[in-house]
Structure 1
Amino acid sequence: MWYTWIEAQRNLVRTARALGWPALAGYDGASQLLQPLPPVPGFDIAAVTIGGNPVPVTEEIVDSTPFCALRRFSRERDALPSARRADPAILLCAPLAGHHAVMLRDMVETLLEDGDVYLTDWTDARDVPLAEGDFGLDDCVLAVERFMHKIGGERMHVVAVCQACVPALAALALVANSGAVPAASLALMGGPIDTRIHPSSLARFAQSHSVDWFCRTLIDSVPQPYAGAGRRVYPGFYQQIAMFTSFPQHKWALEAGYWSCRLAGNEAGIARSLRDLGEYAAVLDMDEHYFLDTIRVIFQEQRLARGTWRIGGRLVRPRALSSLALCTVEGGRDNVTGAGQTHAAHALCGAIPESFRQQLTIAGCDHYGLFSGERWRDAIHPALVRFWRSLPARVAPNSATNPTERQPSTEVCDRPG
């Protein structure tokens, strides 16, 4: 019911704008909610700098399901230094958590310095026709597993962010359990691997309300004229409200940056700020089954952590992972994922040698800082690259480090900014 009403109000605003009437004013939550959503910005990464020289980048969709596209960002091989042409591929698993994958643009651009990047770009459920069926958490895992097989394991680094950590770890475990090489390494960043540990306010809320309550309170039907009309979803406008109430300082900082550039006449800064605001506003609907599965499986029953998760009859066994390296990253000020929830993956993946593990905690870093801004670029990414370069030669061909000399490490990084 709310979905239909909000769409009607947004259509009124669109009509008013077309007629030249004054736009709806105000920065309160209701005014912002009723503004028509801007188009989802593209990634628009034309080139990256490697070895001091610009390297053109090509973007294409190399595989897809009705609910997800696998995007590949390829560096022009002939423009790369010869030593960099054999860089491993990187699969960046974006979270399906109410936001388009363009939120990770900063990560994509940075990781292109290290290899071609594949990205899981989840489809807005409102645009998926009912004929395509439902989409649950198990389907999410199977999609990620499919993409992993598409890319190939031995020379692939997997990086998963936030909610994507659970399906990424589960998919790799299924691949390993089948006897295939899952990946060279896995980096889990701010993900709810075990929500029993230091539950955040988000986790406590999910654990204190029944699945039926979430179904009755937060699920709505997609209205016409969207292709997915009739599909039951967790609407993106709820995510829009949640982001503003949970992280008001983030939106204020983005708007302050815009006005600062506007007053200074900084055209490049204005364009960059508008892009940042567009990425922040790029919310999406999640299929009802996926949203409710996430509440049940991850936050209430902790099936991955308890070893009780079965997907299509296959038990998810993280202990099947023995040939890859594992790095976990947490933010010291993360109020979305509780302290220790991501590092808990090390206990689940007990077959991985200690010398192929790393725990990285970024002091003063909030949830957004794990994948964007200075802390991502200046602290997390360099540490991740050091980790990759410390792995065996078959994983990182340019590594000069003897893996037998590497010791397990736990880092606490404290960078300004």
Structure 2
Amino acid sequence: MWYAFIDAQQRLARAMVGGVLSEPESGPRPQAGWLGPEQAADAFSYWLLRSACAFERTPTFAIHSVAGNGSRVTVDESVVASLPLGALLRFKRNPSTPPTDAKLPVLLCAPLAGHHSVMLRETVETLLEERDVFVTDWADARDVPREAGPLSLDDYVQALESFVGAARAFGSPVHVIAICQASVPALGAAALLAMDEAAPIASLSLLGGPIDTRLNPTITDRFASSHSLEWFHDHAIDIVPPPYCGAGRLVYPGFIQQTAIFAAHPERQLRLEADYWSRWLAGDMPGAQRALRSANEYAAVLDMAECYFFDMLRVVFHEHLLPRDLWSVAGRRVRIAALRDTPLCSIEGDSDEITGAGQTHCAHALCDASPMRAARQLTIEQCNHYDLFIGPRWRDAVHPGLREFWRDVEHAALKVCRPRRAARGSANRKSA
């Protein structure tokens, strides 16, 4: 078992940079083409922490304001619900959108696939330009005591059900958007909620989600399906050592996940590092700070509980329980057809190397959609997996598609409400 040894190396890396690292925002700004010794020490220190997965604290979202209606809008962040396996964060525009231009908030389901949810900071900032945003902030399994339970896939589905309720407590339904692996528990939670009540969410959007990995399997799909759970237990699972709160818990460690992510997508890691170093060396301090933040967020990995990891392997890659209509969560059968009246949007990238073509769009057929339901399928050109939620393709193609979908859903809801209000008004006049 390597966890204790790697953890010792991470603590050593933190000790090495402890007296060197300065705050980049407050450091001196050198002239272009010049790099001072303090900046060089900072650059090396951050690189060492990223390479060793040695961040002592996860980078924060730190979204203080966003652009909106031609001006800056301040943003308030708060925790509105908390469970052992994670919290629901609320990012509230301040002042809120005027009632005449009210837009429903978005609940962003972050994937539990190696990275902390802060990797979606750019996604959240873009959504905040028009709407309030809720974000699932999953906990690092090493920090969750074993007494909290196994942290299974069922636990995360039920957590999403609870988070939807917490978001709705603020007075309006939410547009749920799930990214990558989060599409599976989000689809399950939405279906279970729909089985219990008429309109639990305003809409559901799935971005690059592995709903049916039998369709056009990628290298990732083939690797996951061709190796047994026993193989993954022997090669990917370790034990959290003291002094962490989750000491003794079996996990898929973040440092192994980082290696797997780099092996699968070396070009992204190298692009982030190259952007960071080139800006430092050119003396572009504002650009270097932005690149530094992106690189640090991408390198902020977490431990995944063994139970959740194996559940995802079994349900999604080995037995395909969701598309076969055989999935149960905590003894409740997940009936995807319960979402036949829920507006659904699926978005795929034509160059997605993680989620194969059709694996997300197939959700429409599984829902047995009503002809009256708002629905949309978008395939974004020149778009890989990460482009679906970060970078120019997200901002210029994916987000505009979501905005149009949400606008159509909200306009359709208003048309339904107006006749009902008119009918109630007419009935009141007659009774009077």
> TM-score, normalized by length of structure 1?
0.89
Identity %: 51
Match of 1:402 in 2: none
State whether residues 53 and 301 of structure 2, in contact with CA within 8 Å, keep that contact through their aligned partners in structure 1: no
State whether residues 130 and 231 of structure 1, in contact with CA within 8 Å, keep that contact through their aligned partners in structure 2: yes
Question: For each residue in 1:205-236, what CA deviation from the matched residue of structure 2 results, as whole angstroms up to 9, or x when unmatched?
Answer: 11111112111221110011111111110000
Matched, 1:376 2:387: no
For residues 217 and 15 of structure 2, the distance between their equivalents in structure 1, rounded to whole angstroms, comes to 45
Matched, 1:353 2:371: yes
Q: Give 1:221's match in structure 2, choosing from 239, 244, 264.
A: 239
Q: Pick the structure with greater CA Rg.
A: 2
Q: Give 1:249's match in structure 2, choosing from 267, 274, 285.
A: 267
Match of 2:84 in 1: 66
Residues 352, 368 of structure 1: CA spacing in aligned structure 2 closer, same or farther, 3 A cutoff? same
For residues 296 and 15 of structure 2, the distance between their equivalents in structure 1, rounded to whole angstroms, comes to 21
Residues 250, 300 of structure 1: CA spacing in aligned structure 2 closer, same or farther, 3 A cutoff? same
Match of 1:410 in 2: none
Q: Give 1:195's match in structure 2, choosing from 196, 213, 218.
A: 213
Q: Give 2:164's match in structure 1, choosing from 148, 159, 177.
A: 148
Q: Give 2:356's match in structure 1, choosing from 333, 338, 342.
A: 338
Matched, 1:295 2:298: no
Matched, 1:105 2:121: yes
**One-letter identity of the residue aligned with 2:54:** P
Q: Give 1:137's match in structure 2, choosing from 131, 139, 153.
A: 153
Show the 5 A alignment for 1:9-408.
9-17=9-17, 34=52, 36-37=54-55, 39-77=57-95, 80-84=97-101, 86-152=102-168, 155-353=173-371, 356-393=374-411, 395=413
**One-letter identity of the residue aligned with 1:252:** L
Residues 206, 394 of structure 1: CA spacing in aligned structure 2 closer, same or farther, 3 A cutoff? same
For residues 221 and 110 of structure 1, the distance between their equivalents in structure 2, rounded to whole angstroms, comes to 38
For residues 384 and 285 of structure 1, the distance between their equivalents in structure 2, rounded to whole angstroms, comes to 31
**One-letter identity of the residue aligned with 1:196:** R
State whether residues 87 and 396 of structure 1, in contact with CA within 8 Å, keep that contact through their aligned partners in structure 2: no
For residues 72 and 231 of structure 1, the distance between their equivalents in structure 2, rounded to whole angstroms, comes to 30
State whether residues 107 and 134 of structure 2, in contact with CA within 8 Å, keep that contact through their aligned partners in structure 1: yes
Residues 232, 14 of structure 1: CA spacing in aligned structure 2 closer, same or farther, 3 A cutoff? same
Q: RMSD over aligned Cα, in angstroms?
A: 2.5
**One-letter identity of the residue aligned with 1:145:** E
Residues 307, 30 of structure 1: CA spacing in aligned structure 2 closer, same or farther, 3 A cutoff? farther
For residues 111 and 44 of structure 1, the distance between their equivalents in structure 2, rounded to whole angstroms, comes to 15
**One-letter identity of the residue aligned with 1:151:** A
SS in structure 2 at match of 1:390: helix
For residues 299 and 163 of structure 1, the distance between their equivalents in structure 2, rounded to whole angstroms, comes to 11
Residues 236, 384 of structure 1: CA spacing in aligned structure 2 closer, same or farther, 3 A cutoff? same
Unmatched runs of 5 consecutive residues or more in structure 2: 21-40, 418-432
**One-letter identity of the residue aligned with 1:175:** L
For residues 231 and 157 of structure 2, the distance between their equivalents in structure 1, rounded to whole angstroms, comes to 25
Shift of 1:296: 0.4
Match of 2:4 in 1: 4
**One-letter identity of the residue aligned with 1:166:** V
Shift of 1:394: 6.1
For residues 263 and 11 of structure 1, the distance between their equivalents in structure 2, rounded to whole angstroms, comes to 28
Shift of 1:76: 1.1
Residues 167, 251 of structure 1: CA spacing in aligned structure 2 closer, same or farther, 3 A cutoff? same
**One-letter identity of the residue aligned with 1:139:** D
For residues 300 and 16 of structure 1, the distance between their equivalents in structure 2, rounded to whole angstroms, comes to 44
Residues 396, 98 of structure 1: CA spacing in aligned structure 2 closer, same or farther, 3 A cutoff? farther
For residues 116 and 354 of structure 2, the distance between their equivalents in structure 1, rounded to whole angstroms, comes to 18
State whether residues 216 and 356 of structure 2, in contact with CA within 8 Å, keep that contact through their aligned partners in structure 1: yes
Shift of 1:195: 0.7
Shift of 1:9: 2.2
Match of 2:429 in 1: none
Question: For each residue in 1:111-153, what CA deviation from the matched residue of structure 2 results, as whole angstroms up to 9, or x when unmatched?
Answer: 1123110000000000111121211011110000111122229
For residues 218 and 33 of structure 1, the distance between their equivalents in structure 2, rounded to whole angstroms, comes to 19
For residues 193 and 338 of structure 1, the distance between their equivalents in structure 2, rounded to whole angstroms, comes to 10
Residues 376, 173 of structure 1: CA spacing in aligned structure 2 closer, same or farther, 3 A cutoff? same
Question: For each residue in 1:231-288, what CA deviation from the matched residue of structure 2 results, as whole angstroms up to 9, or x when unmatched?
Answer: 1100001111012111111111111211222233222111101100110111000111
**One-letter identity of the residue aligned with 1:99:** H
Shift of 1:392: 4.8
**One-letter identity of the residue aligned with 1:5:** F
State whether residues 182 and 324 of structure 1, in contact with CA within 8 Å, keep that contact through their aligned partners in structure 2: no
Shift of 1:30: 11
